Amino acid sequence: MSKNAKLNPVRGTQDLLPDEQRVHRHVEETAWRVAELYGFGEVSTPIFEFTDVFARTLGDTTDIVTKEMYTFEDRGGEGITLRPEGTAGLARAFISNGLTQELPLKLFYRGPMFRYERPQKGRRRQFHQVGVELLGVAGVQADIEVIALGRHILDDLKLTGTVTLELNTLGDKESRDAYRQTLVTYLEEVKDKLSEDSLKRLNTNPLRILDSKDDGDREIVAEAPSLMDSLNDESRTFFDELCDGLSRIGIDFSHNDRLVRGLDYYCHTAFEFTTDDLGAQGTVLAGGRYDGLIGQMGGPETPGIGWAAGVERLALMAGGVNEPTRPIAVIPIGEAAMNEALMLTQRLRRKGFAVELGYSGNLGKRMKRANKANARAAVILGEDEMARNAGTVRDMDSGEQVEVSLDRLEDTLSAYR
């Protein structure tokens, strides 16, 4: 790169400056606060794992593995991948740390993920997610609680009325195997009309064709047999209990029998909260049950269900974000006052006040900077005031000011917290 070249962030990444970061933090902290109410504990896994962690769990034929993962060889010759999603890493952590005796486990996570895909509204190559996993509970109560948690978070982000819960069942393995055979038989008869991607999936991952975004595929899928017709009694009972439980706690949903998860370890519940506010990419929170995942990774057979939500997408929609705390501006006039101001600002911060220190310039310039910082009050320290061990406190909204002893300054400023 030449010295004169303009430095820009890598395509698909962004700098989160204070205003944007504040909204992101609001989304993440809202999700964590609500998750804690449901008994979830926060965990953090590395942002990169051995490539096998994702290749084995996401499937060799998925777009994520074949097209989107950031994979490289480190200096030790190991295949390393930046995490494209959170569930596989948490499943690996469950096995690595021998947490079987801790079941049931309720885990919350947040952090950056990485996928090489076309950047678009609410979707970037480095993006952020919040998510939960509930491990060790095979009953439908876990599904209801995990979905209720997602709904609660969206409500607290003031998204009530802008998102819709779409729900489906994938059945158990017996039901899925029966449906896969029925689906492939139907698709084989129209395979000359399938898109190139769907044609590849026909023999490897046919359920994913139901989720195709190709217009021609969607016309074909509209006439495809329904998975509901292949459910055995156990799977149908599980889905009925899920629907009944959600209704009992006041969570509305619509049944979308084309909502699928293509990998074998997924079963029973699949769900998405979607919106029309973000264009074509309308999913804001999605999840499902994956009872076979941990066993497939080499751990003990362990039921699990979870979801993940994109922070960028939620940040585009979130309402009710609090404004930054309005600080107290400390404005010294003269060198002697600056020394006193340094000590005073630290004293006030230790007492829990947000404080901005005016570093240089005359009184007028420092007051302008205080206004720009949206200060609630200013403490002006001049030579005359300091001689009386006092400062002038100015209300930045009304303009009223009063001289206050520095010994009693905190009492006066408490009205401006």
Half-sphere exposure of 76 (CA within 13 A, CB side): 4
Q: Write the pLDDT tens digit of every residue in 293-344.
A: 999 999 999 999 999 999 999 999 986 677 888 999 999 988 888 888 999 9
Tell me: do 134 and 24 sit in the same domain.
Answer: yes
Residue at a domain's end among 317, 347, 373: 317
Tell me: do 282 and 160 sit in the same domain.
Answer: yes
Task: Evaluate whether residue 212 is within a structural domain.
Answer: no
Half-sphere exposure of 321 (CA within 13 A, CB side): 18
Question: Do 310 and 298 contact (CB within 8 A), yes or no?
Answer: no
Q: How far apart are CA 289 and CA 169, in angstroms?
A: 10
Tell me: do 102 and 138 sit in the same domain.
Answer: yes
Contacts of 325 (CB under 8 A, 6+ apart): 354
CA angle 350, 335, 382 (to 5 degrees): 75
Tell me: do 336 and 288 sit in the same domain.
Answer: no
Instruction: Give the count of domains, the chain.
Output: 2
Tokens representing residue 386 in the block: 């300091």
Task: Specify the CATH number for the domain of residue 347.
Answer: 3.40.50.800
Q: How far apart are CA 152 and CA 36, in angstroms?
A: 12
Task: Evaluate whether residue 259 is within a structural domain.
Answer: yes
Question: Do 116 and 65 contact (CB within 8 A), yes or no?
Answer: no
Tell me: do 72 and 104 sit in the same domain.
Answer: yes
Q: What is the pLDDT of residue 258?
A: 86
Tokens representing residue 34 in the block: 């609500």
Sheet holding 41-42, edge to edge: 41-42, 105-114, 126-135, 304-310, 283-289, 267-274, 164-169, 254-255
Task: Evaluate whether residue 284 is within a structural domain.
Answer: yes
Checking if the pLDDT of 58 tops 60, the result is yes
Tell me: do 380 and 245 sit in the same domain.
Answer: no
Task: Evaluate whether residue 227 is within a structural domain.
Answer: no
Residue at a domain's end among 255, 282, 317: 317
Q: What is the pLDDT of residue 207?
A: 85
Tell me: do 153 and 295 sit in the same domain.
Answer: yes
Q: What is the pLDDT of residue 79?
A: 93
Q: Write the pLDDT tens digit of every residue in 29-49.
A: 999 999 999 999 999 999 999
Task: Evaluate whether residue 183 is within a structural domain.
Answer: no
Checking if the pLDDT of 77 tops 70, the result is yes
Q: Domain span at residue 79?
A: 18-172+232-317
Higher-confidence residue of 298 and 60: namely 298
Q: What is the pLDDT of residue 123?
A: 73
Task: Evaluate whether residue 97 is within a structural domain.
Answer: yes
Tell me: do 361 and 241 sit in the same domain.
Answer: no
Q: How far apart are CA 359 and CA 259, in angstroms?
A: 58
Q: Write the pLDDT tens digit of every residue in 256-305.
A: 988 888 677 899 999 999 998 876 668 999 999 999 999 999 999 999 99
Tell me: do 407 and 297 sit in the same domain.
Answer: no
Tell me: do 313 and 332 sit in the same domain.
Answer: no
Give residue 363's pLDDT band: very low, low, confident or very high (50, 70, 90).
confident
Task: Specify the CATH number for the domain of residue 26.
Answer: 3.30.930.10
Q: What is the pLDDT of residue 169?
A: 96
Q: How far apart are CA 181 and CA 361, in angstroms?
A: 78
Q: What is the pLDDT of residue 335?
A: 80
Tell me: do 149 and 255 sit in the same domain.
Answer: yes
Task: Evaluate whether residue 12 is within a structural domain.
Answer: no
CA distances for 71 relative to 90, 137, 257, angstroms: 19, 33, 34
Q: Write the pLDDT tens digit of every residue in 386-416.
A: 889 999 999 999 999 999 999 999 999 999 8
Tell me: do 54 and 83 sit in the same domain.
Answer: yes
Identify each DSSP E strand in 312-400 by its residue range.
328-332, 355-357, 377-381, 390-395
Q: What is the pLDDT of residue 320?
A: 67
Question: Do 124 and 117 contact (CB within 8 A), yes or no?
Answer: no
Q: What are phi and psi of 67, to 5 degrees?
A: -125, -25
Task: Evaluate whether residue 190 is within a structural domain.
Answer: no
Question: Do 130 and 28 contact (CB within 8 A), yes or no?
Answer: yes
Neighbours of 345 (CB within 10 A): 20
Q: Write the pLDDT tens digit of every residue in 112-135.
A: 999 998 776 667 899 999 999 999
Checking if the pLDDT of 5 tops 60, the result is no
Q: What is the pLDDT of residue 153?
A: 97
Confidence (pTM): 0.88
Q: What is the pLDDT of residue 273?
A: 97
Checking if the pLDDT of 97 tops 80, the result is yes
Residue at a domain's end among 286, 317, 348: 317
